[in-house]
Structure 1
Amino acid sequence: MGVDESSRRTFELLANETRLGIISALGEASGEGGYATLSFSELQEATGIEDNGHFNYHLKKLVEEFVEDREDGYALTLAGIRAYQAIVAQQQLPSTEVARSISTAPMSVTVGESSRRGTRTGGSMLSAMSVTSRSNIIPFRREVSM
């Protein structure tokens, strides 16, 4: 599996509310002593998902990459811990802080797939951009008035 295929799979796994809920429930159940291990029923209750089949389907999708299936229950893998930390960081950081940190960080801007300025539509220009700072790549789409 190449880097692009691996990245695509990772984002597909995380692009689901149920799966993010499972990762969040495992992370929130953890304390200062380490990350928690929850049984199937404890984890299902923590997520609030009542349908066993639905819950089991999404939990199994996370096993190995983000969740470890142990004898005594389920726990986050290192990738799962990082995903949980990203979820918490995003929830705690106000959007003005994100904008401020982006605007003050050294960065380069790439527009579209090459260095084009976008496509003109009527009186505006649509551009798909990604901003690269020292540690983050932040994709966004915006409409620029002409």
Structure 2
Amino acid sequence: MSYQFEELFSEILDDNREVLEEIEPFEHPLVVLLRKCLEEQESMLERLIEEFEEGKTELKDIKTNCSALFHANQKVNPYFADWKRATGWIGYKDDNPSKELMESLKEKLGVMQDDLIKIASKLDEEYGESTAKYFIPTFYLPEERVD
């Protein structure tokens, strides 16, 4: 099971790094906040991948980093949505991102979100719902668990 976690975390890390690279030239205040959250997410992903590579898959070894990862991701999407909306108001010109770039970023962030939901479901199965609820925000848990 741990190889599945490692694979999913690696996919998210790749997408995360691509998004960080693509937003690098922009200095909008919302991008600064977005970048900070993505950097935190990147750090947690690197730690989690390392834990799984070392075979440390006990809950005590991953719980804190998983929790920080999910919470960082919860901030990524609103910051991006606000930046996208602000860019639309200002217009896609000059030093602003293109409409195509914004759509590409939206797609990558959506894939990352979907992968985190898959991870949350697998963590829920692996470690049990009575434990997972303490380190996985309900937004990421399967709908039938939240009701």
Based on CA coordinates, which of the two structures has the bigger radius of gyration?
A: 1
TM-score, normalised via structure 2 length: 0.25
TM-score, normalised via structure 1 length: 0.26
Which structure has more relative contact order (CA 8 Å, sep 6+)? It is 2
Q: Which protein has the bigger helix share?
A: 2
Q: Which protein has the bigger strand share?
A: 1
